[in-house]
Structure 1
Amino acid sequence: MMAAAVLALYAMVAVVALPRLLGRGEWADRAPRLAICVWLAGCASVAASAIFSALAVAIPGNVVGHGLAEFFQACADMLSDGASLAAPDARVALLGAGLVAARIAYCGAAILLRARRERRRHAEMLNLLGRHDGALDAVVLDHDEAAAYCLPGRDGRAVITTAALRSLAPEQVAAVLAHEQAHLRGRHHLVLAAAEAFCRAFPHLPLFARARSEIARLIELLADDVAARRHPRIHIAAALVRLATGRTPAFALGAGGETALTRVRRMLSPAAPLELRERVAGLAVVALLLIGPAAVAVIPGVSSFLAHHCHNISLF
């Protein structure tokens, strides 16, 4: 029961404390890819802690310690009607763990399916109204609002409007399309879907709401950095200024948006990247967040396993 209490307490504290801890300083802007991993690991850590806490209540550690066969038998007993091990609190805990996992899976699937339907409808519209430009490797859409975005998915494509082509210089067009290609190659829509699934599964909790907004912002910074590997930052910044007010579909990833002006300053005055020790520390935090809940959950079982086998050895 101690492991269950620790995991439950961590989950309750982390949903409030982690947003404050992870939001400190400007380290995330200097390493957006690492920051995205940390935010997702924090969300997964809290969800896993809630699930493992319930499982720790439902399945005693000594049952796990005596062998996997008895472990699975205990699970089967708890799900059967006449099991002697299936105490009411164990049944409730096991049901709670299943509900948490099912809620996350359901929200994730619903988000992906809805986005897929909307992207399919938009792709049909692009097939009718847009034209593919081989030189740009993008779909050109006749529209009087300057915008550039990408339509992710299996047949992902970058889209730019004729107004954007008129207002941007050729090198700026190349830079902004490199930004959109970075979204497509990185499958950033799946990262956003994961953050949205956590937020929708557990609404009004500070960690998941903050993680969704931060990941959406960091993904744009990451795409900017990828584009900056091949194009001058000044061209990316100039394109962002012109596309700042451009609107894009909700299910697409656009170069403009609310964060455009902040990203312009970042492009023009880039901060120094994280040092090696800082990156190692960040990776260690990711590993701790992901492995920690599982490690705490298995401690009682491992302790029981060692005690049981050490006792048997001592008998010989």
Structure 2
Amino acid sequence: MINVNGKSYPTISDIMKVPENERKGEDYLNKMSGIFLVTSSSFKNTSTGNVFTQATVCDDKKVANVKIWEKVEAGSLIFSHYEYSSTYHSFSLKPIRIVNAEKAPEIAEALTPHFDVGNLERCLKYLIKSVENVHLRKLLEEIFRKDSQFYTSFVNATAASQNHHVGRGGLFFHTISMTKIALNLISSYPNLNRDLIVTGCLIHDIGKVETYKDAPTFDYTDEGKLENHIVLGVKMLARFIDRIPDFPPELESILTHIIASHHGRLEFGSPVTPKIPEAMVVNFADEIDAKLNAVFEVFDEMETNNWEKVEMLKSDIFKFEI
């Protein structure tokens, strides 16, 4: 719940905490309308020609896809009625009042999702120091210089506009998490090049710094829409390597390949599929971390022995206890 001018409003986390079979009627949580921060939106038409908004809304803990029965821009705060469809497993909103988030910065900040990155800097520092190849270590030290604008942006960036690790610090959290996953995979295959995998994991998503806007929207930038984070990441890698004298061209090609192939398949946005084992590991670790994060985001609000749809997986999941 969030307090605005002495009145309490439920947020997306509050209405999602109610078990699915109890989400009955409009404003089902004590008949109170809610408050939602719209982080991304696209306008669509019903079969009768009426405009509605397919949107992502959030609070500081949760992100959800909703349908808004009005045209609402990303970066808006909406005071709204809400209703849940058990047929489509989704929420719809009927706005009462729409406010530009920039005109209510304290409320917007309170509703902005964020990740705890307190311990991640120590992990990053250790991982960089653990890289033995001098060229790769110098590259990582250059990319993640704490006094750089890139580093400040990286630490605060989201990993996506929806689906997984959405929020301030989401990119940093995802990057360290998937690197840990990759290191566990290495333990079973000692022939893998650890330095390449650690470096590949740490740099695979650097293009997202330029792909998404900062809070409160986390929406795509123009560059993000035109080029996507893989293309932007390859270009950024080239710029960073230009700052390092005598960086081996063959090593640049391998790192470029790892970034370019980390989505694994052409239909998932990679211009090339993984051609070396280390690129495969980066792809696997990235997918594991993103999908498990999406699943556990939904699990957090589910009762046991229930089903819920995970948009990223395009599938229902089942939560159970043994």
TM range, normalised to the smaller chain?
A: under 0.3
TM-score normalised to structure 1 length? 0.24
How high is the TM-score relative to the length of structure 2?
A: 0.24
Greater share of helix:
1
Structure (1 or 2) with the greater strand fraction: 2
Q: RCO higher in 1 or 2 (8 Å CA, sep ≥ 6)?
A: 1
